[in-house]
C-alpha cells in the first residue's frame, strides 16, 4: 500500500507569511493539532504543531551556567502568561514553526511510513509529489488501513 492510497487529500495548511493567529483558528475550527507551512508554490517549508505553541507560551525558567572561572545566567520570562499568549497571535508562523520537516513521497510504502512515524515519534507526515504538498498521513491513518481487514 502506498502513501497516495491512504493519505488525506484535504490538507489544512498555512502560508509561510501567515500570523500564528491563523494557525490557532484552524486548530480550533478543524480540531487538529498540526499544520504544514507552505510557500507560494505549495511546497512544504515548515510544520507547526500544538507542541510549538506550548513551548512558546509555557513558562521559561532561568538557566544558570557556570564553571570555576565564571557564571552566566540566561533569563527566563519577564512577561506574564497572558502577555505571551497575546504576543504570539500576530507573530509570523515561521518564527516558531519547525523548519526541518520530514515528508514522504506519494509513492512511499506504508511500511516505511509506519517506521518513520514510530522512530521519529511524530504524529503526522506531509505527503509530497514532485516537491508539492498533496496530502497528509497520520498515525491513525496507518493503523486504520493496516488493521481494517484483520478486525
Chain centroid to CA 34: 5
Question: Residue 74 has what pLDDT?
Answer: 47
d(CA 105, CA 128): 5
Question: Residue 83 has what pLDDT?
Answer: 85
* Residue whose C-alpha is closest to residue 107's, from 137, 87, 77: 137
Question: Residue 57 has what pLDDT?
Answer: 81
21-17-95 Cα angle (round to 5):
75
Question: Residue 82 has what pLDDT?
Answer: 82
Question: Residue 7 has what pLDDT?
Answer: 94
* Residue whose C-alpha is closest to residue 37's, from 91, 99, 124, 87: 99
Parallel, antiparallel, or unpaired: how do β-strands 14-15 and 34-38 relate? parallel
d(CA 81, CA 56): 10
pTM: 0.81
Question: Residue 151 has what pLDDT?
Answer: 80
Question: Residue 54 has what pLDDT?
Answer: 87
Question: Residue 116 has what pLDDT?
Answer: 96
In this structure, what C-alpha cell is assigned to residue 61?
Answer: 525558567
Burial class for 16, CB neighbours closer than 10 Å (0-12, 13-18, 19+): middle
* Residue whose C-alpha is closest to residue 124's, from 141, 110, 137: 137
Tens of pLDDT along the chain (151 residues) come to: 899 999 999 999 999 999 999 999 999 999 999 999 999 999 999 999 999 998 888 765 544 556 666 555 444 455 677 888 888 899 999 999 999 999 999 999 999 999 999 999 999 999 999 999 999 999 999 999 999 878 8
Amino acid at each position: 500500500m502506498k502513501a497516495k492510497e491512504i493519505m488525506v487529500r484535504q490538507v489544512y495548511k498555512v502560508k509561510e507569511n501567515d500570523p500564528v493567529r491563523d494557525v490557532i483558528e484552524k486548530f480550533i475550527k478543524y480540531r487538529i493539532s498540526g499544520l504544514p507551512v507552505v510557500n507560494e508554490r505549495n511546497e512544504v517549508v515548515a510544520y507547526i504543531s500544538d507542541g510549538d505553541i506550548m513551548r512558546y507560551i509555557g513558562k521559561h525558567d532561568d538557566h544558570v551556567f557556570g564553571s570555576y572561572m565564571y557564571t552566566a545566567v540566561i533569563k527566563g520570562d519577564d512577561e506574564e502568561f497572558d502577555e505571551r499568549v497575546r504576543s504570539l497571535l500576530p507573530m509570523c508562523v515561521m518564527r516558531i514553526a519547525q523548519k526541518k520537516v520530514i515528508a514522504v513521497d506519494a509513492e512511499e510504502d506504508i511500511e516505511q511510513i509506519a517506521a518513520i512515524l514510530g522512530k521519529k515519534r511524530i504524529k503526522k507526515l506531509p505527503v509530497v509529489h514532485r516537491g508539492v504538498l498533496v496530502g497528509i498521513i497520520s498515525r491513525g491513518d496507518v493503523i486504520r488501513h493496516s488493521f481494517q481487514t484483520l478486525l
